[in-house]
Amino acid sequence: MYENPTLYTFNNLGGSKKKCDVCATNLVPEPGFYFGAAYVNWALTVVLWVSILVALKTINALGWIDYGFLTHPEKLIFSGIALTLVAFPYMFRLSRSVWAHLFIK
């Protein structure tokens, strides 16, 4: 689906092919088609941050770290931002792929 198969090279990260190599389906049906993928990306980001919160609460319950949502919010913010930056290329491509699978047969 993408011109550049490697994930962590940021030049042409979102450049998608015009047609599928296997079935020749048009992957760019209209200009601005992939703007809707921002909603999918937002949902994936919410899931990521909630899972970070659950992980921090679980690790706190095990006694490995001291974490409280109101007492140590910087741990959630720093770990959330770090994981979001690391997962950005994957989530970007995943959201575009999900959006395309919703509307392209």
Higher pLDDT, 15 or 39: 39
The pTM assigned to this predicted structure is 0.79
Tokens of 32: 């601005």
DSSP strands (E only) in 1-105: none
pLDDT over 90 (residue 85)? yes
Average pLDDT of the residues in 49-76? 85
Tokens of 105: 């047969």
Sequence-separated (6 or more) residues with CB below 8 Å from residue 72: 66
Other beta carbons less than 10 A from residue 89's beta carbon: 16
Residue whose tokens read 């609460």: 57
pLDDT over 80 (residue 91)? yes
How do residues 12-27 score in pLDDT, each as one tens digit? 776 777 787 778 777 7
Helix, strand, or coil here: 67? Answer: coil
- Averaged confidence pLDDT in the chain: 85
